[in-house]
Structure 1
């Protein structure tokens, strides 16, 4: 006698902060039969995978958490990675999420079953998991990018990507190279330099680095936050306002606030000039693109590292790698025994989406995005994909804190699913008209941004997709995104 397969309330792909936030929202609405599929061996997403030296949140800790679950016990203004992982575990335990999670499960595809009216999710092992709703929370920074350098596979020394850091490797006395100077490298390089005999940093694109107002959070302040939560909410508000000014005014409203953007550039430039002694090195470290074209970062220790005699900054492009050296295009051999790859993540080639997603009428989401522009209504929904929330989508990232994005999406889900419950509907699908209106508005808003009006050609920013469009960030204010998540017209969806 055959057994009827279980159709869960929802299948969530990814057990990072996005997936956990989605699960919390669904459980609040009474959907308790959830399956959260995670390819890694534990929860936490990027805060589980990344363990490299110097790992820390790159915005103030008070803003990098769920607003409904503040953590009064951050040890520093910019919390180290281990504390973020601990916070992940705390949230999962408090909201009883672990019982929904299955680890070590790699999802390969998801397909809408038109006849059965549910999603069928297929894993690498061939298992099929069914769900009424599908939510992809695979993150923006989940697919490591390996550099395409001739001969790199012939290198005979130690090779580590920052997402696969091996703590058992002792770097003491080694001659190492770091490829990449993005936000990860800015954290990594000052931590490892003192242990190395020689370090060569290969920079393709300089990064804007501003001062970091970091320091330990006194125990008295932690106790105050715990006893009077309002005080921490105030701190969160101040931090969020500062980030809003940096991102929204200087970057997204560049046309009107170009002076603000120029002030940020001067701030970062003076920070570097105070910390780097050699004029030639300062010129190399100065970006040749507008502030905000590429995500900036904060550090007080990155620039001084290049004052050390055993640290070298190399800006000549790499020609190829040999078994014991990196050779630049001018023929110089940089002999090394350790190769550290801080080359970031591949957003647009193997992400968006990170798995194959097939909707109504056989529409392939990845193919459709690439042929018809990257787009998603309110950053969560796509026409022809019923009962589907794409949580890492074009135009979804709001502000500089990922939690702004997560919580706006939670609000959106809550409003939509509550309306469905009231109307007795079992399916939702955003209309083509609503999606087109939202896309047109986002594209219009971007015309005021630094991405359209600034000098971004040399930034090589992951904000840009294959078509040269900056479709990752939502070009509205954070408050605007949260407000729209609670007020969008329900008529923008077809409910059946």
Structure 2
């Protein structure tokens, strides 16, 4: 029984769109992209809080094969990323393959029919020869279970569900969280509210943001001479690589570079914040890179304002009109802003139930046997399955580095299938184990293990204490591997054959 689609893609963010573009290139054009939101764009559709902007220079945070010469700033505001996503979807004919407002409950491999059966909320099922999950790394919002939060009588708003018509003017507000989102939001909120309290559990490394408008003349140059924008992308990528690959992933051999980045952040803090005690509270006590650092020229300066207060005491409970900390003090507020980030490991890996061969539950298997995926994309016992946001898949600081590497992996894998006349693939247990051992060894010299990350509370670490998110390779080596991994690491089957299972 033939499946309804060549492929089912879950997620219409940049990862899912990249997968769709590559499926078209491979001649697998009968696919569907399922998206739970009411439009495409992933995080750039869901997030639209004040101050939202990309924290990687826009010339790098975009598809290399689809440059946008018209970014208004070096670090483009979120609305431009959303517009860019719509442009890509329209240009590459992706929108007509998308179904919005569709919640995927789970997927199961049908061993007899050799295809995936995907179940949607409401009971509908669809089938696809291949299953690709592109649900993103930051797709499951997290709200800590603060005691009493349900009794709060004021306004509660999570940054992933921002209401554009919500007016902060004159409010007594609190922001819980000091991650990258809060760094962007807090200065915007402080400019409007009457009083603002920022509840910080863990300070974040913040470095100066060299952000400037991109002149119209430069935009025209990029449009007329694409090589100019390509060169700008290469320079920016090289700088990111220096920080990420050398200072973070090769921390043991490049401690001076890591220390220099930390000193830059501390100098930035010292220049911007007058009060010595506040500076002390805002200074991280973990190595640079244990948590994803961010850029801002205005976040630290906010804490010089008389109407802004930094609170580092832990939250005990929430009452109808305020937040009570562990020392018994109460901060009266009428607005509670949750910048509490995302639940990466508990519900995001995977974001839906996925059942492979012999009833193997991917989520349970990962939690029982370590989080792992061969080359950050395929998993043994899960035929015809590509997980585009997997353990050890994130390469470089720009998500597009990961997306395009995975597109290349798809190209090599499906090209071999076409050459063999095969319809099924499955990575071998041996190849997967070899890759896991390799990345584990390489990460041993990273800041996550060779540095001090004990107080970071970083989402890079899973519940087992493993930094199982980032791939310990440079962008160049990751892309080289994507087009040159051993084809013998996969087994292939044609039609009614099931791939031979490797030890």
Task: Tell me, yes or no, whether TM beats 0.5.
Answer: yes
Q: 1:225, 1:298 → 2: CA distance?
A: 25
Quote the offset at 1:7 in angstroms: 2.0
Q: Please report the TM-score for the alignment, with normalisation by the length of structure 2.
A: 0.97
Corresponding residue for residue 203 of structure 2: 206
Corresponding residue for residue 354 of structure 1: 351
Corresponding residue for residue 274 of structure 2: 277
Corresponding residue for residue 52 of structure 2: 55
Secondary structure of 1:61's partner? coil
Aligned residues of 2:3 and 2:115 also touching (Cα < 8 A): no
Q: Report how many residues are paired.
A: 493
Corresponding residue for residue 246 of structure 2: 249
Q: 1:159 aligned to 2:156? A: yes
Quote the offset at 1:396 in angstroms: 0.2
Q: Provide structure 2 residue ranges, at least 5 long, that are not aligned to the other structure.
A: 494-503
Secondary structure of 2:448's partner? helix
Q: Please report the TM-score for the alignment, with normalisation by the length of structure 1.
A: 0.99
Which residue, out of 315, 318, 321, partners 2:318? 321
Q: 1:428, 1:183 → 2: CA distance?
A: 39
Q: Provide structure 1 residue ranges, at least 5 long, that are not aligned to the other structure.
A: none
Secondary structure of 2:59's partner? helix
Which residue, out of 453, 458, 463, partners 2:460? 463
Q: 1:183 aligned to 2:158? A: no
Corresponding residue for residue 16 of structure 2: 19
Which residue, out of 197, 210, 227, partners 1:230? 227
Q: 1:341 aligned to 2:341? A: no
Secondary structure of 2:483's partner? helix
Deviations 1:6-43 (A, max 9, x none): 52000000000000000000100111101100000000
Quote the offset at 1:156 in angstroms: 0.6
Corresponding residue for residue 402 of structure 2: 405
Q: 2:116, 2:330 → 1: CA distance?
A: 54
Give me the CA root mean square deviation: 0.7
Aligned residues of 2:349 and 2:390 also touching (Cα < 8 A): yes
Deviations 1:342-389 (A, max 9, x none): 000000001110000000010000000000000000000000000000
For residues 289-300 of structure 1, the aligned pairs below 5 Å read: 289-300=286-297
Aligned residues of 2:3 and 2:129 also touching (Cα < 8 A): no
Corresponding residue for residue 80 of structure 1: 77
For residues 361-376 of structure 1, the aligned pairs below 5 Å read: 361-376=358-373
Q: 2:152, 2:373 → 1: CA distance?
A: 42
Q: 2:340, 2:150 → 1: CA distance?
A: 16
Quote the offset at 1:476 in angstroms: 1.0
Q: 1:244, 1:175 → 2: CA distance?
A: 42
Q: 1:215, 1:324 → 2: CA distance?
A: 41
Quote the offset at 1:192 in angstroms: 1.2
Q: 1:85, 1:129 → 2: CA distance?
A: 29
Corresponding residue for residue 387 of structure 2: 390
Quote the offset at 1:87 in angstroms: 0.1
